[in-house]
């Protein structure tokens, strides 16, 4: 694991800091702020005049680097038509977490039907590609025939390594880096039949789901911290690099904004890597799929924590 370098910055060094809606960011931060166990976080002052002053009084901007380049991508909560029961149309199962999830690869589950008949099916989709992208996003809403919506969320994985099928298509010159997007990947898989199915199997990582009944329809999906995440204010980060729950200032060509680190993802690795949550449905998916930006992430750390880290010469 690369050594982390910590560099203290001023708020004046954050591009467009003064122009952000700090209250919107504070509202999101407070949804998970009570979960901090570290004394440096719990010591944050509750006395402030404005949301902006809350952040500027309690936190120090710290640039955390590990030698890896900065990359921002986007994710969303899909809405997919499906059924609670299998039908001729809806025959692709969404599985709950089995007792020994590590025993199976994606191909064994999909092609060999290793989990069929064990009572783990919680819903059914029409297309294996829909299931694959649901697993990539980690949560979604299933639109049932009666108009009701069933929400499913991450329950666990099989522990196999995640392989980006987008990167495989680029490496094999099937699609260029400029062409790659969820839509072009989906189209390539459908166009190539058995070869498309085999491509999916090359990502052996498999995500299992659970039905979420405690989340209101107008709230976002549940993030890693167990609370609903918020469009354009919640990000997924690498928890080995960025403290979960921390405010994070992001800068890229499309956005300068204060976010909160409330989620994680198997493909999100490094101190300068974040996945931005865009919301639910097709429009959110299109916006999320259009994000592939370089830039900079600056974590707001409690002053005492920043003093400890930056004071060690990092």
Under 8 Å CB-to-CB from 179, ≥6 apart: which residues? none
Under 8 Å CB-to-CB from 183, ≥6 apart: which residues? 289
Provide the pLDDT for residue 220. Answer: 85
Provide the pLDDT for residue 313. Answer: 41
Q: Which of 134, 65, 75 is nearest to 273 (CA)?
A: 65
Using the CB atoms, write b or e for 37-57: b if 16+ within 10 Å: eeebbeebeeeeeebbebbbe
pTM for the whole structure: 0.81
Angle at 26 between CA 25 and CA 28, to 5 degrees: 70
Question: Tens-digit pLDDT profile for the chain (314 aa)?
Answer: 578 999 999 999 999 999 999 999 999 999 998 878 888 898 887 778 899 999 999 999 999 999 999 999 999 999 999 999 999 999 999 999 999 999 999 999 999 999 999 999 999 999 999 999 999 888 899 999 898 889 999 999 999 988 999 999 999 999 998 888 888 999 999 999 999 999 999 999 999 999 988 777 678 888 999 899 999 999 999 999 999 999 999 999 999 999 999 999 888 999 999 999 999 998 999 999 889 999 999 999 999 999 999 974 44
**Distance from C-alpha of 177 to C-alpha of 203, rounded to nearest angstrom:** 19
| Domains contained in the chain, CATH given | 5-74+221-310 (2.40.40.10), 77-211 (2.40.240.50)
Provide the pLDDT for residue 183. Answer: 86
Provide the pLDDT for residue 1. Answer: 59
Provide the pLDDT for residue 58. Answer: 95
> How would you classify residue 120: left for phi > 0, otherwise alpha for psi between -120 and 50, otherwise beta?
alpha
Burial environment of residue 191 by CB neighbours within 10 A (0 to 12, 13 to 18, 19 or more): exposed
Provide the pLDDT for residue 25. Answer: 97
């Amino acid at each position: 694991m690369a050594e982390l370098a910590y560099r203290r910055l001023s708020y004046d060094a954050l591009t467009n800091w003064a122009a952000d809606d700090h209250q919107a960011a504070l509202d999101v931060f407070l949804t998970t702020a009570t979960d901090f166990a570290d004394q440096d976080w719990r010591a944050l002052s509750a006395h402030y005049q404005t949301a902006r002053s809350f952040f500027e009084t309690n936190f120090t901007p710290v640039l955390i680097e590990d030698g890896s380049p900065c990359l921002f991508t986007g994710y969303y909560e899909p809405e997919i038509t499906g059924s609670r029961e299998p039908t001729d149309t809806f025959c692709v199962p969404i599985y709950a977490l089995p007792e020994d999830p590590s025993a199976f690869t994606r191909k064994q589950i999909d092609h060999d039907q290793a989990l069929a008949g064990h009572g783990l099916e919680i819903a059914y989709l029409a297309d294996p590609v829909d299931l694959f992208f649901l697993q990539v996003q980690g949560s979604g809403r299933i639109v049932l025939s009666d108009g009701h919506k069933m929400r499913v969320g991450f329950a666990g994985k099989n522990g196999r390594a995640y392989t980006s099928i987008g990167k495989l298509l680029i490496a094999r010159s099937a699609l260029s880096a400029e062409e790659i997007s969820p839509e072009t990947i989906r189209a390539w898989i459908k166009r190539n039949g058995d070869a498309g199915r085999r491509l999916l199997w090359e990502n052996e990582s498999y995500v299992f789901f659970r039905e979420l009944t405690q989340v209101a329809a107008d709230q976002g999906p549940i993030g890693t911290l167990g609370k609903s995440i918020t469009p354009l204010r919640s990000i997924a980060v690498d928890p080995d690099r960025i403290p979960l729950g921390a405010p994070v200032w992001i800068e890229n060509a499309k956005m300068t904004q204060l976010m909160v680190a409330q989620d994680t993802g198997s493909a999100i690795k490094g101190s300068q890597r974040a996945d931005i949550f865009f919301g639910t449905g097709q429009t959110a998916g299109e916006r999320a799929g259009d994000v592939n930006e370089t830039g900079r992430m600056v974590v707001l750390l409690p002053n005492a924590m920043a003093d400890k880290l930056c004071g060690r010469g990092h």
